[in-house]
A and B are shown apart, each in its own frame.
Chain A
Amino acid sequence: MSHIKHLLKTPRYGGLLALVLICLLLPLLLQNAYQFDVAIKVGISAVVVVGLNLLIGYTGQISLGHAGFFGLGAYSSAILTVNYEWSALAALLAGSVGVGLIAFVLARPILKLKGHYLAMATLGLGIIISIVIATEDWLTGGPDGMGVGPFMLFDYEIYGEKAWYWVVAALLVLSVWLALNIIDSPVGRALRAVHGSEVAAQVAGIDTTHYKVLVFVFSAVIASVMGSVFAHYSGFVTPTEAGFFHSIELVTMVVLGGMASTYGGILGALILVLLPQLLSGLEDLEMIIFGLILMLTMIFMPKGLLPTVTGRLKGGKA
């Protein structure tokens, strides 16, 4: 008991409890299917961002291609369930295993690269995936995308915004729990060392490449699973899900919310999904204001929103 109490007092696991509470209470505030839809979109992005944040925030590796993995997951589910009549769960698993393998094979040559070269390589990877999806229209429906059936779990159909809300909320809590475990494990300490200085970590006898590969694969698989979830929830997938802009959006969520801050990433996802909805009435001004908000936040809070705000509230410097 006292052990659990102690855990809850640590900011990390106390945060998990708060997240669970928010997920439980939020539906009371949501009034219609559209608001649930926005909440689900936030959730789906947030889960991907939790995984990506491990990579960017804790290992210091940039990926500008994670939407590619998301897209692969989405299209695996779409193609396998629609064209080959697989069950939704089997398709989701097959997609994530496939993406995991691809990520594993590519991880070593890609993660050998540093800084901007790594950014370029992951960006290229993502773009190649989206071009293939858009071009092979006999399989994928081409640029106009393809419809996807509902998610049948055995005989039960997950249908409607409310059902999906609970699925996504559960996945979000699960992913945060997994991430916190990784962060607090010996692996996690090694990861933070990698971000600090790779050479120093190597000198200390840590197999940095091994950990980087692990996190890269983990974050790719999470992206793939959420791609599958997205495909079934929205009932429609297009190549833009795998595209460059989606990748940039995901990275922006991480950086805006706070690198190496698991909850910060969730906040980033919340803001980036909500902002276009809030700005939608501004028509021609939307881009200007969106760009401005992005710039100003990063200029004045370079560590990201959540770390900066918590830092200020604690009275210290962020």
Chain B
Amino acid sequence: MSGWFCPEVLLVLAGVVLILADSLVADGKKGWLPKLALVISFALLGWTLWGAGQPMPTSWGNLFVTDGLSLVFQPFFVLCLVGVTFMSVRYPMGKEEVVRAEFLALPFFSTAGLCLLASARDFLAIFLALELVAISLYLLAAFHRSRAASLEAGMKLLVMGGLSTGFLVMGIAWLYAATGSTDFSKILLDQAGRPASLAFLLAVGLILTGLAFKIAAVPFHAWAPDVYEGAPTPITSFLAIASKAAGFVLLLRVFGLGAFALDSVAVVFRPVLLTLGIATVTLGTLAALPQRNLKRYLAYSGIAHAGYMLLAFGTLGEAGMGTLVGYLWVYLLSSFPVFIFILEMERVHGSADLRHLDGLGQRDPGVALGLALCFLSMAGLPPLLGFSAKLSVFTTLWNAGEVPGLVVGVVMAVVGLGFYLMPIRAMYWEREADSIPAQRFPAFLVWILLMAGFFQLFLGLQPRPLVRLVERSLAPTSSSLFPEK
């Protein structure tokens, strides 16, 4: 089997096939296109899981590497794609149905870029892959050309994304000036064992700033809530999860494993990362409290989660990196079901306002239970999955002796429980059964959410598969995800 069948190539091909199919099929007969996209994305997910370990084509030179990290995050991103495509099938497009194929195909290109990011080992490759992701997302966020909120979202994403790319490119330029290379291993060799020059540190700082935009870390977070609210919900989920994860994977690549894994960098940037983390956790949690729109609410919750991940990663040890990888998976598993729910809520009620949750516990007990478990998991309540993630963050900080981060993390976890209890309160004790409209959610939603809730519980009690995933992700060699097969 040739290495040309790697997920990145197949993803791009699938996107092209979708666009071709759209232009070849007559109007009015395109109803099966979304389903085709869904089938393809599922097939690709199976392919990444089964074919994991396929080395990348050698002709791509030194730009990419296949190691544990890329093996673990390719399925992650393709899983996000499956979710987005699934939501797109359910997404009401209205009059803009004529351009539907692009809405389906662009996430494929974006995912291809994400998979490339996960395996990049050269700043040029990072730049190219990041632009592939970002440009697709600009288009997708502004997809509702007639809706002002969507256009605003696209515009904000474009400007902010452009700004962050600017920082990144500037950083890469300074890096090249300081070290004479953009290749991770060459930079490492060049810089190892000597004090970092000012130019080098400036480059690192600029690149960190660029990445901080991507993960919506405070103070580079302001775009996130508006964009999340305005963008079409499937795209919101992709932005919130896949795009944020991409930023963190890059942090891992660059600061954890790759070019900047140097003592001279750590001395300067460990406090910076931890401070970013403290600010992000605090602001994300506190600003979430007054939110009344579920999409904005999740945006701030995502910012808070990013803060925890930054805190763990900021210790710049192996434990912190492992925690980050695990936390990203936990974040995916607990927030994606909520996004699927938001989409259905918008279909039924017309908006993502928190008050539509009132009385859900009696109207749709299954949906409410699943949702409650997801929220509590995000809050980090044992024995749910999110607790393992928080526990891991706290243990990492404890062992690194980072008292300020630890204190802020604990206090904000308590405040966080307060804001994750808000929807639960709305669902279970806000309104009595007789005052509830009789609108119902589709049956499959119950199963999805119950399954998600069960997953939170099961993996929370037995996170062994996740821990193995983390271990694999930090392993340097490229071997299959499932070694026993």
Q: A and B from one assembly?
A: no
